[in-house]
Structure 1
């Protein structure tokens, strides 16, 4: 019987019953048309009989309460279509209830697990019939989530495998796992029964001997404690037994082995599948903590030793995807060298992992929330330490070299457009060809664009301004920096070129449209013919007292200008799909851009303008060219685009700038000016905007956690045209000449090599005859010694080490009165390096950049200040290298103050004498992994 919620099941039952009775002809075929030449009355009569029977059976199964709502029909197929149309609105409710039932299903271990998984598959099939399709991978994860805790090791095994299982494979593995668990329970029960029988047999004589004692005590009701042997209480109630248990304690067992004993930073976290709990070496990042209980004071490691647990708490890690990972019940063990993340502990909270290609991914509810890479045979979790609680980033970390051919970089520069649009830009030769294989999953796009709906096509106009789509979006919960809460868009149907205006109220739509109309009609020399919008009051008009909607100012203005208004049907915003889709695309891009940046939400208006600027210059599915090209007839250029919200060092126009004032301002890029060529920036210090064409964009900067803002002065980056040229500048650099392989040390003579630097200088500036003063960088360089190393004495302190008479370069050494002694010291240094095979003289390979070298001169003096000898050292200019590209920096710890005090105490205690020695040629960290070319 049809009840309004079981239409699908009712329809299937009716079709099955009619088919079994061979009465479904009227549902399968149309009524045959009679032919006077060849009449076939049997077919017509058979169809009419099938039609009557189908109508009677279907009407009989429909309750009387629905008869008035369902229109009469003499055709069985038509009657079924009417019923289906009447109850089709309940499909959303059915899909929602089926999905809720599927997600909430849990296997309790009773019954057959095969039937349980097939039931979940049946629900997924019903959802697919309701146009809500679930992938096989998602269904597999839902089944694994619904399994009970004793399938925990089984789920961990799946998460650590590279290959994915189909639903049939999952059923097979689950059945095998359940049978294995049942066999283990049976064997355990059998062993317990056998052990009990043996125990009874061995104690048979003891029972016989004590039977008389039991008869004596049978009448006594007072129990005896088996622990303290005193009557009056039982063992579980014994106070001595309770205190003994507390004193004894229970130690946890923890298996861990460290494969690399090198220095590991304390803020790195490593994933370990063998760890049974999370381990932290310090309290850094701990949200709250508690002291360990008696049975948590120690844990055992792989070698059998036990280590002390100082505290147990919850740690929060911020992953590079923006996800906050909370590690509960983390043991703080300072004696460990690494922070470890237990996979089994993550699995208890619904996380899963996948490993392969020296990388791993962390999932939650089938969404990627974290990733990592294989380092030293362990997987390192990608964790960031930047504090993004405030919109203004208070620190800037290391700057990497930007890969201009990165698809991910251009994806962010173009406002998070799709990969297909980037491919079209490459194929249209608007962008330079580059490899799209590094196009990774963008978490910001997932956050801003996740949807299940689809877009419908429509017929396009034949020329520009034939049809304009418009719509108003808002209000936004956060007003823009200028107080606007709405925005209105105008999109040309032919070219898809769009305009956007920020407004305070919807009533401003007419004034904005007048401005838009005057501009586009004058620029294009054509008239707007039609405007399509919804039936909102700002477009169509307001309702009067009689309930009728009267034309408003906007509609009356269109009538006066002869523009044909086109309105959507009530409740059908999809009829104006171009404007609705444009608004959705803009909001998706703005959410992604703001999510990727660190700017406040009040700048959503600037992000909207930038998104419109980008959409006008990138292709879409609706047009075969870019909107900019169809609107203006010119090909767009994308070379000037940068990532919205990225940090920048910009030079604003300041007519009264002092000579010592910083040339640039630390700011953020927020868009492109509407009426000029340049960039728009936001200064978070003054909370103001300014426009300039001279800026350096920091699009690939990693944000540190505890570093201060560095005042960096960069070279100007003007917006140059194609007619500007590059002028070379020659800078002489002195370098020493090193002897050959035959051991002959020639005279050391300073030489000069020319290095050409090509800065971006417009030709107008190059033709100026006046000299341009050199600019000095005021960047505060970070010390090469890490913060966690202690340096008690340096050579420049207290006049120790380099004296005022020591030359600082080769020229000063040759001009000093001790020039011959310095030459002998340099020859001695060269001979020592040749004897120790420090280098090999080779030809410089193609494409390799050598590093320079210099001489360090130092006078060695005794305790009375007399000169003992002259020391010259040849060192490489390692500061010209870039971290992670041509070197890995290493450090050696210095002796601590405590060690020095211990040595002095031993000397004083045993009345010893201490001498200081100087090793003539010592190479600390002499073996390096990289091949370095020096000249």
Structure 2
């Protein structure tokens, strides 16, 4: 650095240059000395430590000045630091005194899903329950989260009955499936202390969270390594839990596995095979159709059961259980590969291994395996009987499985998979009609020729308007609604839910005439009825016992009967609150306008009760009295009236009273007089008056049922009992009321 002589002089220093030296001094003495070097005087100055002297400042102020640094701590809790720099509290391992000391002292659970695609049998979720002492896990597949409660009850009953001890604590996240009232009530009843994690702190349930990742990672590998496709992830999850329970873990003493701690003895690993490998299941001779039939079927291993294996049969596309099985665990070679039932396999010779099915360790299955599938990790040898035969047992009916066939990129020996062709094999098995279907014609064309033709009743508006009679029925229905004042055409309101509608068509037999009717039905499920009570939605209907009693009285007292039908009955009741509906098809309205329902309409949730209340008020005003036993029965003197929705039947001695009732009802509603002095049909019962009394028949109803189920041409039986049924004469006497 260069020093200015003039600056030093102005600072009060004295500079002397002599004998090729320079001396800088002050009143206190020499400050610095230097020597001439060339044309410059050089001065060597020893560095000294410079200390910054700061005046006394409060710690909190200095903390703020220095940017809230921890090197300048505040004299208390700094609100800004807490809001700006606070982090999660660290998680520490549990001390030994807080770790569980017995089985089921602490358990935890977690749910994963929804998973796409669903399994071949429709499952989209799975739930695990893990014992913290043994790290043993149970898994259940679920179709929806609301099944968690039932699976937990099943788990609790299973483990407590096996271990003869109760669950102490249960730890879950804050999922609604674990916090429902019925779930918590069940835990209180069983004495289970439920602990929920702090929101957004999944590490508090770290054992289940980490286990869930391990299970699904292994299941993903099993599916990828096999040829069964993603729809088999459910079976892969169950197999993964089965294997994880037999793998060592750092949470247990060296060499111990969860299964060993849970069962009390080391697990037998001789049962384990490669997931998705080929398995030849033995077919019992009872199930073979001839001496030359195959004695085994090709299946694929997908899991384990207490006394055998779970195998997927591509021919029937179902999961079966079997014990006499030979496995081919050789890799799926591309050379000679064929496609059978959507699964790639190889014709190369592999190692065949057979298990005799006798093991001291069995796997866990659900008490109702067809409805709730669990893991394969519990010992049920004492509760599940041994199979007496080698017959594969069907455990769950399923829908066809959309199996995905993966295509390897490289073949053995370096050959490319794209150069190989897979051959589709079709089954040559002869299909035999089951005995219970011998009375049926299973051929579709033959069934059509037998008269089981599709119904002539249209199902859509477009198909109905092509027929003149159905089109006239539509216009008649719209006219009835217009005359009745069912709706008003108004501009589309804002912030209002619009209800949709559809046309429903049916044919009704009135006497001997078939009447075609079109009915406009509101899609009531779109209606918001949260402000309505149950009493506002449901209407009573006549009891069959009441009809039988009235018929008996009519025969005894020789009463006459009259029958009426109210046209468009549901359109007669006034709504207590407005409902807005989109214009139905066939109704011409200006653009931007909708129908504001003033009266009830078919399909609305409150329509039945609205009509019933309207009719009841009218009948009471006419002087009829409502029965206290059957709310659909009315009486006045010797006149009785029974109401079934919009069908009315009257029994009376006084015909003038019946005409008066008809006149009064006709002034309020549109009536159809169906009266016949000898015949009538009510509630599907054909009622015929004879000289001896009343004859009841449901022939038309029975014929309709027979036609509906395609049994019109079935072989009839003279007696409604099983053939070759031998009954023994009983001993003793019986006091029967008949």
| TM-score of the pair, normalised by structure 2 | 0.37
Q: Which has the higher helix share?
A: 1
Q: Say which one has the larger Rg.
A: 2
| TM-score of the pair, normalised by structure 1 | 0.29
**Structure with more contact order per residue of length (Cα contacts < 8 Å, sep ≥ 6):** 2
Q: Which has the higher strand share?
A: 2
